[in-house]
Amino acid sequence: MQFHSRFGSIYYELHGSKENPALVFTHGGGLNGRMFSEQIAAFEGGYRILNWDMPGHGRSSALTEAMDLWQTAECLTDLMARCGLSEAVLVGQSMGVWVNQFAALDQPHLARALVSIGGGPINQAMAPRELFLYRTALRLSRLLPANLIFTRAAREKTVTEDARNFYWNSMHAMGKQQFLWMLAGTMEACARPAEKGPEQPISIIHGEHEQPRSLLNKGRVWHDSLENSHFEEIPRAGHNANMDNPEAFNRSLERFLTAVEYGRYVS
């Protein structure tokens, strides 16, 4: 289905009965909603699921300029309203984790809880060295051929061949210009962190082979700074933990959703 927003045409899918509690899946940068196919198959029997492609990704409209993550979060909240979802658990991967947090911060009533896959907090400033490296990567990406950029990213972020192929194909379909605009928008969020993060319960998930490794360490620090949080390291998985090891990830998600339902948040 297509939602005609002020950010262009947004592709989305609804699965499961509208009578069930809601799950919203937000993919990572350069990818698309198909990365959650294993989760949709596992949870659509008990949940109303909204899965979507962010602007510039998948089957949504292409970007014509850099789009910051605050705008992407606004697109998500508009889409949730369009779909009649007044509350949901927001599940995001990488860049999608930031988008979900901005959405939860802007409209707290929409987010019952959050799940972070390979993400970080929106209220933590990037270290000067990391910001320098990020900006350098953006400059280099303008010069390097797309195939080299996408191949390297796919190898670094995934463990299994299926996940790696999906990563490369998604980024190749997106194209280099869209990728650069997406990267520029993400860098804006890194350079201007929010004053605070959302207060909803959150499950912080990383693969044991997370890259860069600093993300895994930051995930633990993030967990330690919160009251209602859960941290889990998924074995045999990288940055796309839900794709590399969907069975282990789905078990973790099911445990967290049960805890949310009964108000139990186990660290």
In a domain, 184, yes or no: yes
Q: Of all helices (H) and strands (E), which one includes residue 257?
A: helix 246-262
In tens, the pLDDT along 71-109 reads 999 999 999 999 999 999 999 999 999 999 999 999 999
Name every residue whose Cβ is closer than 8 Å to that of residue 217 and which is 6 or more positions away in sequence. Answer: none
In a domain, 188, yes or no: yes
In a domain, 267, yes or no: no
Closest Cα to residue 92, out of 122, 71, 123? 122
In a domain, 147, yes or no: yes
**Global pTM?**
0.95
Banded pLDDT at 265 (limits 50, 70, 90): low
pLDDT at 120: 93
CB 136 within 8 A of CB 224: no
- Give the separation between CA 94 and CA 243, rounded to whole angstroms: 13
Residue 189 domain boundaries: 2-262
Give the number of domains in the chain. Answer: 1
In a domain, 238, yes or no: yes
Name every residue whose Cβ is closer than 8 Å to that of residue 62 and which is 6 or more positions away in sequence. Answer: 8, 56, 178
In a domain, 32, yes or no: yes
Whichever domain contains 98, its CATH number is: 3.40.50.1820
In tens, the pLDDT along 116-146 reads 999 999 998 776 766 776 777 778 778 889 8
